[in-house]
């Protein structure tokens, strides 16, 4: 029978078994004090830690050495299937691997608190093997071979992937599996999202994902909507408290110099063809490319006009902030007689049905998109825990307008957000177990466009050039 959620943050821990190298199976459901699990769309594996109270000297008697496995099943009540990894945390068929005995804190003569750090089997496997093989075909098939192959990662977990337009012929030069997959993902162009080069390969408690940032943002409905509300003591309003924002911080630093130098706003790519003794230049403008991208408000449920999160005001030189391509320069030498194309767009007829995948097709756009994710409007939320929420999900956030002091929504901070990373925090407190969720989420658009009429203060001053006098000739009103 489906368990009913009694309070926001409640969780059920169905299994927490530590399997030791000596063959023992230790049930830690009652002994654990804290479990943390981390997910990140820029990380190939999940990681975490478990702290437990040891009153029987388990670490010595059971020989806990950092090579154990952890079977773990945790779920938020109201979930009717504890095997569905999209709504529950379930690591029974694929146990977590302990890799470090981190902390050993003495509480008293007979009680200690131990912390073990864990990760997934694929991460451990990735440290021990190399890929030395020639591959050809569609990238998702190549990645699937590495993820599923017994000689490689040998993963049995769910693998969700997005199709690309590419066909590759390439050799893995003695690289670790994740490193090779990451290198491959950089060059891939989306089949469904305007050749977007924003593919990422990451793991959540739900499984493995190979998909673009565009596809993560292309959702009409968010997984959850979190609101800045006053917590209710009424236990009948559990669902309301489950969506309440406990606290938040705006953690992004709007650094336009960093955005420019890192290649987000504009860049030049120079390709020198040493075979034909020619060169080709590709200029990138973030403002022009912005409308081609899929953004978090692609499906306009929050009243946003999907405005670029920058002011397009012209400076003293008559240029917008995205009209300085020489800020960032890329240079690539090639000796291949690449056929002419349309400004770096994909040419599917190149090289015997193998797509051309030169840097001019993906480098500038991918660099810009990744930097925009790092410098976008970023919120750090603390909310009641929910095992159905994962990194890569789209959520809605409604924050009050701090300037007006009423319930009007903030025009810049409210809207849809993409979860970049999150941390599940399960606490086994006295009398009550509590699950908190700490989320870092980003928003790459605003509801109300930033002003663009221009700054009224102009750069000025007097041009004065003087030669510095010799030291002993420097005048001073003081003598000493």
Distance CA 406, CA 425 (A): 32
**371-412 pLDDT, tens per residue?**
999 988 899 999 999 999 999 999 999 998 877 666 678 888
| DSSP for 268-288, written as a single string | EEEEEETTTTEEEEEEEEHHH
What is the rounded distance in angstroms from the CA atom of residue 416 to the CA atom of residue 223? Answer: 10
Express each pLDDT in 152-201 by its tens digit. Answer: 999 999 999 999 998 888 899 999 999 999 999 999 999 999 999 999 99
Of 359, 290, 285, the C-alpha closest to 327 is: 285
Asked if residues 435 and 384 have their Cβ atoms less than 8 Å apart, the reply is: yes
Pick from 429, 434, 456, 448: nearest CA to 384: 434
Check residue 353 and give its pLDDT.
47
Residue 151 CA, distance from chain mean position:
29
In a 10 Å sphere around its CB, with 0-12 CB exposed, 13-18 middle and 19+ buried, how is residue 242 labelled? buried
Contact between residue 326 and residue 306 where contact means Cβ atoms under 8 Å apart: no
Q: How many Cβ atoms sit within 10 Å of the Cβ of residue 163?
A: 15
Residue in the block written with tokens 């658009």:
445
* The pLDDT value given to residue 347: 43
Q: Both tokens of residue 140? A: 């998702």
pLDDT tens, residue by residue, 337-361: 554 444 444 444 344 445 556 788 8
The encoded tokens of residue 182 equal: 């990451």
Token match 């079977």: residue?
71
Given a contact cutoff of 8 angstroms between Cβ atoms, the answer to whether 300 and 447 are in contact is: no
Q: Which residues of the chain have pLDDT under 70?
A: 1-3, 79-81, 230-236, 253, 301-306, 335-357, 404-407
């Amino acid at each position: 029978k489906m368990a009913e959620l009694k309070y926001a943050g409640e969780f059920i821990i169905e299994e927490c078994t530590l399997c030791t190298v000596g063959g023992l199976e230790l049930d830690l459901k009652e002994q654990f004090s804290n479990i943390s699990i981390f997910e990140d769309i820029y990380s190939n594996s999940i990681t975490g830690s478990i702290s437990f109270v040891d009153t029987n000297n388990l670490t010595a008697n059971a020989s806990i050495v950092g090579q154990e496995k952890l079977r773990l099943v945790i779920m938020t009540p109201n979930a009717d299937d504890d095997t569905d990894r999209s709504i529950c945390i379930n690591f029974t068929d694929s146990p977590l691997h302990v890799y470090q005995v981190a902390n050993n804190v003495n509480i008293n003569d007979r009680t200690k608190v131990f912390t073990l750090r864990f990760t997934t089997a694929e991460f451990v496997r990735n440290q021990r093997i190399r890929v030395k093989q020639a591959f050809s075909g569609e990238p998702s098939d190549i990645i699937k071979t590495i993820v599923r192959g017994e000689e490689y990662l040998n993963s049995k977990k769910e693998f969700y992937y997005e199709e690309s337009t590419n066909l590759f012929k390439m050799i893995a030069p003695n690289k670790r599996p994740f490193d090779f997959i990451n290198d491959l993902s950089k060059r891939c162009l989306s089949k469904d999202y305007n050749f977007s080069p924003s593919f990422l390969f990451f793991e959540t408690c739900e499984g493995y994902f190979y998909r673009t940032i565009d596809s993560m943002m292309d959702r009409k409905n968010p997984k959850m909507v979190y609101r800045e509300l006053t917590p209710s003591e009424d236990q009948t309003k559990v669902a309301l408290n489950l969506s309440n924002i406990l606290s938040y911080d705006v953690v992004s630093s709007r650094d336009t110099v960093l955005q420019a130098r890192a290649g987000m706003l504009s860049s030049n790519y120079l390709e020198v063809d040493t075979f034909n003794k020619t060169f080709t230049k590709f200029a990138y403008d973030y403002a022009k490319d912005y409308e081609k991208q899929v953004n978090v408000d692609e499906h306009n449920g929050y009243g946003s006009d999907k405005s670029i999160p920058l002011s397009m005001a012209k400076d003293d030189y008559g240029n917008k902030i995205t009209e300085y391509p020489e800020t960032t320069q890329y240079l690539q030498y090639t000796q291949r007689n690449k056929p002419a194309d349309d400004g770096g767009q994909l040419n599917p007829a190149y090289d015997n049905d193998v797509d051309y995948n030169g840097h001019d097709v993906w480098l500038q756009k991918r660099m810009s998109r990744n930097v925009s994710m790092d410098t976008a409007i970023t919120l750090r939320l603390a909310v009641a825990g929910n095992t159905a929420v994962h990194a890569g999900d789209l959520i809605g956030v409604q924050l009050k307008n701090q300037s007006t002091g009423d319930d009007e929504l903030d025009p810049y901070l409210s809207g849809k957000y993409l979860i970049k990373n999150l941390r599940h925090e399960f606490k086994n407190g006295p009398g009550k177990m509590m699950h908190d969720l700490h989320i870092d989420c980003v928003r790459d658009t605003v509801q109300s466009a930033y002003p663009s009429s221009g700054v009224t203060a102009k750069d000025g001053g007097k041009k004065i050039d003087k030669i510095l006098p010799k030291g002993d000739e420097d005048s001073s009103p003081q003598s000493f």
